[in-house]
Amino acid sequence: MNDRITPAFLARIPKTDLHVHLDGSLRIPTLIELAKEAKVDLPSYEESGLREIVFKENYKDLPEYLAGFAYTCAVMQTPENVERVAYEIAIDNLEENVRYLEVRFGPQLHIREGFTMREVLLAVHRGLNRAKREHNVKAEVQSGADLPFEYGIIVCALRWFNAHMSSYYHDLFHVMKYARPKTVFATASLELARASVALRDREGLPIVGFDLAGAESGNPAVDHEEAFQYAHRNFIKKTVHAGEAYGPESIFQALTDCHANRIGHGTFLFAAERIVSPDVKDREAYVEQLVNYIASQRISVEINLTSNLQTLPEIEDVASHPLRLMMEHGLSASICTDNRLVSNTTVTRELALACEHLPIDRKRLRNLIVAGFKGSFFPGSYTEKRHYVRQAINFYESLEREMLDA
């Protein structure tokens, strides 16, 4: 680690997490407890056993990485359980001084009879809001000695799903049994976009973003264009998992067809060799123009170091992660966790990895932290967001003077 950036400083500074999946971030004791109550079979009912069998340090491939979601989603099928998981993820973030959090998840994975889209999203909101109230009434927050906690909810559409993944998807496939699968996928995305706008506008839920997740190869984002157009027309910001397992063209499509304001992962942004379109004659020029466009438009990239190392064998170590190139090209990049449970990580740990293995000095660290606050889909007005960002910067700089300049 840079000798002027200490672990204590990384722990104290105000942080954000703009890319964290709710169903990938449960506490293991909570998962075990809820599984017993709901009679969900786990391969082990001991934390050590689950760490050995399911939630590992290293995974052989993406399917193994994703296997744990079958267990976490299975216990998140009631309002009480979803609310508890949301509350605990907020508390866990608050304990490591994350002060702005955007939790993302697929509501349609939890819908069943008696548990509607509205109730799923309300349960998440209640859990997060409970943690917010508890933190923001503290004397240090009221006095300005600490930052208030703020959050937003990002809803995830899926590029691909099957009828076994939830009751909602099962029923949708049944109703649309004569439709092509890609039409079913697009219908689910559009229904999610419409419901999100309605719940934001009618009930004031802080639904700040619309996301697209899932396997990129063979499942292009353009299939979900209508849903993203609907979100775009109704002023919901967009983020797309893109360039995680596919090349620069996937990122380009996220920007042009989905109006993405941020890019999730963007790992293969610089991988010109992954361009497959015969229409691209000069691959290096294509990448250069794409990178410059993202940088100049201040389109933030949500960086997930540990999960990339666990799922992408092409990324051999942190030192070879494209975050280095992103910083060199002046991109707006923020450090995120992706999945706190599945990747066994925290925002502080991700920052420490970056500082230990990449050329990050104090200026670059400050840029990474501020990019998280500036790139957020803050649920308030632009004026309120500017005020909050300024508070965060002031707090960061005061800690810098106290801990690094002393």
Q: Could you tell me the end-to-end alpha-carbon distance of the chain, in angstroms, rounded to an integer? A: 19
Nearest 5°: phi and psi at 201? -80, -35
Sequence-distant (6+) residues with CB within 8 A of 355 are: 1, 2, 5, 10, 365
CA distances from 269 to 196, 217, 295 (A): 30, 15, 12
Name which of 281, 294, 298 is nearest 255 in CA terms.
294
Sequence-distant (6+) residues with CB within 8 A of 245 are: 62, 215, 216, 217, 267, 268, 311, 312
244 is catalytic: yes
CA angle 149, 155, 157 (to 5 degrees): 155
DSSP string, 147-159: PPPEEEEEEEEES
Nearest 5°: phi and psi at 105? -170, 165
Helix (H) / strand (E) element for 88: namely helix 79-95
Sequence-distant (6+) residues with CB within 8 A of 105 are: 21, 22, 23, 124, 154, 155, 156
Q: Whats the size of the chain, residue-wise?
A: 406
Sequence-distant (6+) residues with CB within 8 A of 39 are: none
Sequence-distant (6+) residues with CB within 8 A of 226 are: 186, 189, 190
Burial of 142 per CB tally in 10 Å (0-12, 13-18, 19+) = exposed
Question: Which one of 216, 225, 244, 302 is the catalytic residue?
Answer: 244
Residues with a known catalytic role: 244
